[in-house]
Structure 1
Amino acid sequence: MKKIIVSVSNDLITDQRVHKVCNSLSENGFSIILVGCQKTKPLKALERNYETKLLKLFFTKGVLFYAEFNIRLFFFLLFREKDVLLSNDIDTLLPNYLISKFQNKKLVFDSHELFSEIPELVNRRYVKNVWVSLEKKIIPKIKNTYTVCESIAKHYKEKYNTEFKVIRNVPKSTIIEEGSLKISTERKIIIYQGAINVGRGLELMIDTMMYLQEYLLVIVGDGDVKEELFQRMLKNRVKGSVYFYGKVSPEELKTITPNAVLGFSMEEDLGLNYRYALPNKIFDYIQAEIPVLCSDLPEMKKIIQEYKVGEVVMERTPEKIALQIKGMLKKDFSKELKAAKQKLIWEQEEQKLLQLFNQLV
């Protein structure tokens, strides 16, 4: 059985894309070890049908985190038996590339995003240049690459003359399962799921809730700006209209999302990473059969308009967004959502993944 070591820089719990990839490979005859890092105490023990490993670190953020993680990952990879290395994003690429060269192993690179273009690096020129330098040195030398959307694949092709396959981050087909919520409310729920970071449109939606007092905004996830958003909620006096649900497992999330009447993905155009974003939450909303309000950015806009499962934000002001949401919820998207959820599923993308790895071995 061919052995694949899969590397990520997170705690494995909420990374749905990597879990789907590992599951697909495991179920099709590959032996998988998924390695990440333990930053905080896990929500619960991981139950996976493949082996997992969390590297314990002294540092949990910043330069020291990335330095320590890459060093520990290098030595983990060095002494483990493997046939193929699968690196997820630039922050795991260097140790994987070095080991692939030292030990003559096949290397695959999955770019979940344009890591060097994330908003957190826009005004940090030195740090950004470090990641860009890694891209320039390594990506043109990798033969087996894939990413989440056409725009990112085109970017890498133009910048590094490297061909990336597109394997979209769509969910597995699911049956809608409404579950119990931590909260009791008779209001209609507007949901956001994902990282609570800068540029996700959450500030704008909290401001919008001043005009949607009959609705409840539920934010599922965690991140760097959570406290700032909480203070903004208090300042706007919409505490009763916003609920921070916290971080949950993908399995629990599937029972939460269908309780909503609308999901949103309103990322700001803060550099190429967000401009080309195709967040998996959009596909999760579709699987839950709730309409989507998204930013006027190319990849997400293309999905919403092609499948007619929601609307694109027309004007980014609280008053206009509130009016647009009220208008959307008078429409019936159910037929289009049912059709889209049959097409936008992992089972379709999985075939491209298996073809790539079967060719390698």
Structure 2
Amino acid sequence: MKRKIIISAFSNLYTDQRIEKVCKTLHENDYDIELIGNDWNGAEEMARPYPFVRIFLISKSLKTAYFEFNWQLYRLLKQKADNNTVLYANDLDALLPNYLISKKLNIPLIFDSHEIFSEMPAIQGKMSQKLWRFLEKKLVPNVRFMITASGSYANWFSKKYEVSPVVLQNAPRKISFNIEIPENNPKILLYQGAINPFRGIDKAILAMHHLENVIFKIAGDGPRKKEYEELVIRENLQRKVQFLGKLHPDDLRKITLVADCGMSIEENGGESYFYSLPNKVLDCIQARVPLIMADLPEMKNVKNQFDVGEIIEDHHPENIAAAITKVLNRGRNNYLSELSKASDILCWEREEIKLLNVVENALRF
């Protein structure tokens, strides 16, 4: 009998590219999968070639939404899982119900930690951080099959909990790059991702004072969007900064392909950010777009392997502008060879092999 894999996440699923790639790989390899998310931050219409459900949440605050989702997820898993099921939990905020059901039915559980959830900037110093740390400490050491998104994350979990996660980078699928690089006027600087604190977005906005003939496009949504929109108005930068809103991954890829410079200048907002390899770095590489990056371990590691952009000196707007200027002056064509080399290595086609190995090991549980 074909084993069923139930994949769950605290996510509305619409823009979560990692989960989409995982599900597509498993589906295309003839696994019987079902995906569970929720409607937090909306439930845009979407179509997938496998069944999915989004749990309706009545909570108005994120704090209560986590509790509600975990309770509802536990009840749903209890209905759907049986002795022929493999559970796949994405991140710590979906782990507890999966862990409890896996113990109850004695079935395998795969834990995919996209980040170090307990060390995220949004919960630093809050009571909720203590709760997540407690949950992490109780559950993670007992998880047999674990995946995480960067080598630095894997080292962190290994040292803290004596586990051995498989590193599954959130690289995009290979694209057939046959476009003519556009001669943009003005040049396009692109940020893509959540508009959260510690992403360097506000500093990049201020850097626009030091740049001419450049437009800064911000693709995404998040809790700091309104604050940054007000910053643009206050600094009189409306002609230099555009907010594109939350885009479907297909639409975002089209915009990325025509950018002149991407950016991933996360600040050290805690260990989850410090050790991250952001999706946007790998997305830009696959689109053959050079980028400015933060002076953080995983991004420096990419830069040391492939000359795909510039590392910023620090987060002062003048130094961010200097790095952008260096990339733009050198030109996208002159990064193309190194970007192409990196795109052949840092792609989902290489990563998914590791995913399938983890699933096969879990099936032998």
TM-score range, shorter chain: over 0.9
Partner of 1:349: 351
Contact map agreement 2:110 2:362 (CA 8 A) in 1: no
Q: Deviations over 1:68-108 (max 9, x none)?
A: 01000000100004510000000000000011111211100
Partner of 1:76: 76
Q: Deviations over 1:268-296 (max 9, x none)?
A: 00110110010111010011111010000
1:93-242 equivalences in 2 (<5 Å): 93-124=95-126, 126-176=127-177, 186-242=185-241
SS of 2:239's equivalent in the other structure is helix
In the aligned structure 1, how far is the partner of 2:130 from the partner of 2:353?
Answer: 36
Partner of 2:338: 336
**Does structure 1 residue 87 correspond to structure 2 residue 86?**
no
In the aligned structure 2, how far is the partner of 1:205 from the partner of 1:27?
Answer: 40
Give the fraction of aligned pairs with identical amino acids, expressed as a percent: 39
How much has 1:2 moved relative to structure 2? 1.2
Counterpart code for 2:132:
W
Q: Which deviates further from its counterpart, 299-308 or 7-16?
A: 299-308
In the aligned structure 2, how far is the partner of 1:317 from the partner of 1:81?
Answer: 51
In the aligned structure 2, how far is the partner of 1:275 from the partner of 1:323?
Answer: 23
Counterpart code for 2:236:
R
In the aligned structure 1, how far is the partner of 2:97 from the partner of 2:43?
Answer: 25
Q: Deviations over 1:122-155 (max 9, x none)?
A: 121x210100000111111111001011111111
In the aligned structure 2, how far is the partner of 1:209 from the partner of 1:176?
Answer: 30
Structure 1 runs, 4 residues or longer, greater than 6 Å off = none
In the aligned structure 1, how far is the partner of 2:249 from the partner of 2:230?
Answer: 27
How much has 1:42 moved relative to structure 2? 3.3
Counterpart code for 1:66:
Y
In the aligned structure 1, how far is the partner of 2:156 from the partner of 2:347?
Answer: 25
In the aligned structure 2, how far is the partner of 1:236 from the partner of 1:123?
Answer: 31
1:228-267 equivalences in 2 (<5 Å): 228-267=227-266
Counterpart code for 1:333:
Y
- Cα RMSD of the aligned pairs, angstroms, is 1.5
Counterpart code for 1:232:
L
Partner of 2:12: 11
Contact map agreement 2:266 2:273 (CA 8 A) in 1: yes
Partner of 1:269: 268
How much has 1:186 moved relative to structure 2? 3.6
How much has 1:40 moved relative to structure 2? 3.9
Cα 1:113–1:177 shift into 2, 3 Å: farther
Contact map agreement 2:115 2:148 (CA 8 A) in 1: yes
In the aligned structure 1, how far is the partner of 2:351 from the partner of 2:255?
Answer: 25
Contact map agreement 2:200 2:315 (CA 8 A) in 1: no
In the aligned structure 1, how far is the partner of 2:136 from the partner of 2:262?
Answer: 34
In the aligned structure 2, how far is the partner of 1:290 from the partner of 1:303?
Answer: 14
Partner of 1:2: 3
Contact map agreement 1:37 1:55 (CA 8 A) in 2: yes
How much has 1:60 moved relative to structure 2? 4.4
Contact map agreement 1:147 1:164 (CA 8 A) in 2: yes
Gaps of 5+ in 1: 179-184
Cα 1:60–1:351 shift into 2, 3 Å: farther
Contact map agreement 1:177 1:255 (CA 8 A) in 2: no
Counterpart code for 1:296:
D
Counterpart code for 1:24:
T
How much has 1:176 moved relative to structure 2? 4.1
SS of 2:244's equivalent in the other structure is strand
In the aligned structure 1, how far is the partner of 2:41 from the partner of 2:156?
Answer: 34
Gaps of 5+ in 2: none
Q: Deviations over 1:152-176 (max 9, x none)?
A: 1111111111111111110000124
Instruction: Tell me the TM-score normalised to structure 2 length.
Output: 0.94
How much has 1:251 moved relative to structure 2? 1.3
